[in-house]
A and B are shown apart, each in its own frame.
Chain A
Amino acid sequence: MQLSTSEISELIKSRIKDFSVSSEARTQGTVVSVTDGIVRVHGLSNVMSGEMIEFPGNTFGLALNLERDSVGAVILGDYEHISEGDVCKCTGKILEVPVGPELIGRVVDALGNPIDGKGPVKTKETDKLEKVAPGVIARKSVSQPVQTGLKAIDSMVPIGRGQRELIIGDRQTGKTAVAIDTIINQKGQNMKCIYVAIGQKASTIMNVVRKLEENGAMEYTTVVSASASDSAALQFLAPYAGCTMGEYYRDRGEDALIVYDDLTKQAIAYRQISLLLRRPPGREAYPGDVFYIHSRLLERAARVNEAYVENFTKGKVKGKTGSLTALPIIETAAGDVSAFVPTNVISITDGQIFLESDLFNAGVRPAINAGISVSRVGGAAQTKVIKKLGGGVRLALAQYRELAAFAQFASDLDEATRKQLERGKMFTELMKQAQYAPLTVSNMAITLFAANNGYLDDVPTEKVLSFEKALHGFVASKYKAVVDSIEKSLALSEDDEKKLTKAIEDFKASNAY
């Protein structure tokens, strides 16, 4: 027999002592119908929208539709034991989830219950699931970077702390891989991570958790899981639950990163609930407020100023800004970004990373389409060194795309055009990166420095990546001072530049690649 912590005699004593014996007045109703997790209740005249309703068997529901003669509610969890005629009652509360650092390293469901078999989560606080995002006065512009460790993203579509950057692409284009790599790279960056899995296979979630554990990322990560077999209500609520857990850090002057994988499935779950509640369907059968479910969620990802944090913590934390960075994921069908949900989320977020099947199949991984991927606010947050060196990549790739159509006439082209084509090809190759192998800022700077200054122009395309790897090893062993200097200042001084030039020349002379 297991004993839980709530059974300590002192605790029981105090709880019994504090328990006030008074009559309880409440409103109750009768279940009229139960259909696929949606119940209609007669009565409950005082119920509020979004209020929790208690059903028999310690089951709770969420009142969503308040109509003239009935209340439509969605059951959270199992609903098989609820039948017509059951009595339910108002609780006067709205849904809350546990929050706090105790959740780190844990896998929980959409209501914050642990599902990883590591025992109860001993959080001290709970917080509301649905909250209003901070207003304009409480905000501060994005100015600190989130290092994803991916060359293609950090140099071309930089992400700042407090930004919402969409990852969009067809199935099997490496969307989750980009997000997981970003989480793995947050080690030692003072960033708490939350990964919200919505409507995914339990085996996929399990693999993600295992990969995070293997890479030591579970030390600062919480996984919120609403798998494909969980009810639509839980899949709909999981992102809000994850967001509340992330806001805990934001409001206390810390930085957090949240990945919603993926919001398409959340919209589908919400569509199911809405249709069962008999709300009128609109475009693609989504209800009228499908934009709002995503906008109110993503608006909560923000950077808040010192005054907000100080006010929130009642003066305990001073002079610190907090942030919640969101990486929502959207899955498109056959590259169709003009479908309803993708256009909505594109318009809500501060930029998007486009992943393409064609590039993925051609071996360009991460399969980022540099032409249509943008970051609207991240430029202000980019580290100085990457900002200085990264500009060339975008330009080279843009010129390459323009000229790519002529590539087949290679022999007839003039020298300048051919050179540009080759440079573009080299940069495309250079932007490839293996999974679970994020790069440090200094290594990224070394790579970009070498490429910008033409040291890679005479390297055969297929050897570019091995050149890069060997160069990183060489500089780290023989010119450690440069690496340390870049890591410390996150900028490239003239002195560093000279040393780096010498290092690369030495390396090329050694012919070690």
Chain B
Amino acid sequence: MAEISTVARPYSTGIFSLAKETKKLAEWSEILHLMATVINNKDMLAFVSDPKIVDEEKEKLLIDLMGKGLSKEGINLVKLLIENKRLGIVATISKMFDELKDIDQGTIEADLVFASKPSKEEVDELIKSLEKKFKKKIEANVKVDEDIIGGTIIHVGDTVIDASVKGQLSSLAYNLKA
């Protein structure tokens, strides 16, 4: 059994190269987000994965539903995914497309978790130092989580920089036990 990301990779690279050629990166990103949101709906997912419903019916419903949001190529993508029975991986395709887009544009997404609401200056300063470290433009999502007690936790891709009081307490606990 192949991993979902392995299956999704050729779709996302294919869409990405088409989008880049036609200079419609932002548009495609929106199309994929829309498709992912629609298909990830619980009832919708049950509908598209129901083997008793014929492909034409699924196609009609999906295109009707997203009609205005889809370009001609977008409709073709829906048809292709239905034909290959890969509707379920749209969310992953969308995510991988965004990653490719970020790499292309030299940006990277980062989650910044704070213990209390930070001031704008604090966030800006943090982003500046992160941009220096990762040598990329940072698109930050700021979250507040009181559980970390104090400090901040930064997630960039799968790298985590833990400068929270909670993280330090748990590593102190580990250090005492070892």
Contacts and interface: CB of A to CB of B under 8 A. Distances in A.
SS class of chain A's interface: helix, strand, loop or mixed?
Answer: mixed
A239 interface: no
A67 B2 CA distance: 11
Given A21-B168, A69-B3, A69-B6, A28 B175 contact: no
Interface in A3-61: 6, 12, 15-16, 19, 21, 23-29, 32, 40, 42-46
Interface string B143-178: 000000001000001111111000110011001110
A26 B162 contact: yes
A95 to B, nearest CB: 15
A43 B5 CA distance: 12
Contact of A23 (B6, B158, B162, B176): B162
A20 to B, nearest CB: 10
Contacts of B163: 23-24
A316 interface: no
A426 B78 CA distance: 88
Contacts of B167: 24
A24 B177 contact: no
Contacts of B176: 6, 12, 15-16
B172 A44 contact: no
Nearest to B162: A24
A68 interface: yes
B132 to A, nearest CB: 15
Interface residues of A, number: 25
Contacts, number: 51
Interface size class of B (residues with CB under 8 A): 10 to 19
Contacts of B168: 21, 24
A19 B172 contact: yes
B158 A45 contact: yes
B3 A70 contact: yes
Contacts of B3: 32, 40, 67-70
A19 B5 CA distance: 41
Contacts of A89: 160
A24 B161 contact: yes
Nearest to A89: B160
Contact of A44 (B5, B6, B158): B158
8 contacts: A15-B175, A23-B162, A24-B162, A24-B163, A24-B167, A24-B168, A26-B162, A70-B5
Interface of B: 3, 5-6, 151, 157-163, 167-168, 171-172, 175-177
